[in-house]
Amino acid sequence: MQTQSSRVTTGVQGLDTILSGGLPQGRLYLLEGPPGSGKTTLSLQYLLQGLKNGERCLYVTLSETAEELREVASAHNWSLEGLHLFELGSAEDALGNGRLQSVLHSWEVELDETVKLILAEVERVRPSRVVFDSLSELRLLAQDSLRYRRQILALKQYFAPQSITVFLVDDLTSGADDRDGQLHSLCHGVISLERLTLDFGAARRRLQVQKLRGVNFIAGYHDMAIRTGGLEVFPRLIASDHHAE
């Protein structure tokens, strides 16, 4: 059995280099970036790497459908066979036909019941890797920042004793008031993805590890590209690491 000090490889070689070998196992991580920045691609690579290692992996999709995820995988010639998918539609069926009304009139019950269903799926699958995509749905159900923070903290406390390594995906589509740094403080590490539209030429993509407790990672921005086969990350060169012989 792995210890808490064990590393979890992300499935992206360049990112693992930046992370000095990978992420500390059994922690909660935030993967954030605007739509189209590569979060879903990276999340799938992370889980597919787990499958290659013989691990159980769970993708909880609250925004995209399972079919949309399969389309992303197909574009990279990946197979999702063996990956457990839990989508919001499953929660809708379990909550019954009155669910849409409950979203509007009883959001506290809605949030609690949705989280219970998700955790029940975790108990059933018993994964070592989990992706939540995306937090925007939980934020909407929570309605206020305090309840939202308490829910994320509860998830952190639930997963920690089980040594499950979790990606929380945030598409940054909520207002600035919701992103006041509280979520960053709750997570063991934060990885930010960006897609920059330039005046000329192709769009530029880059990645930054904003924080990672207990790891001497390579700070700063790192260029990346999305190609057939997945995300490629190119670690920046640090002059002090390259001495002339």
Domain annotation covers residue 1: no
pLDDT of residue 28: 97
Domain annotation covers residue 201: yes
Question: Strand runs (DSSP E) across 108-170, as ranges?
Answer: 129-133, 165-170
- Cβ-contact 59, 47 below 8 angstroms: yes
pLDDT single digits (tens) 163-194: 999 999 999 876 544 455 788 999 999 999 99
Domain range for 223: 7-241
| Bridge partners for 195 per DSSP | 205
Domain annotation covers residue 235: yes
Classify residue 19 by burial, with Cβ atoms within 10 Å: 0-12, 13-18, 19+: buried
pLDDT band, very low/low/confident/very high, at 63 (cuts 50, 70, 90): confident
Distance CA 57, CA 222 (A): 27
% of residues, the chain, pLDDT over 70: 82
Cα torsion 55, 84, 29, 74 to 10°: value is 100
Domain annotation covers residue 2: no
| Rounded mean pLDDT, 93-106 | 47
Tell me the residue length of the chain: 245
- Give CA separation, 107 vs 116, 127, 136, 143, 150, in Å: 14, 28, 14, 8, 15
Total tally of structural domains belonging to the chain: 1
CATH number at residue 91: 3.40.50.300
pLDDT single digits (tens) 14-55: 999 999 999 999 999 999 999 989 999 999 999 999 999 999
Domain annotation covers residue 146: yes
On the CB side of 13, CA atoms within 13 Å amount to 3
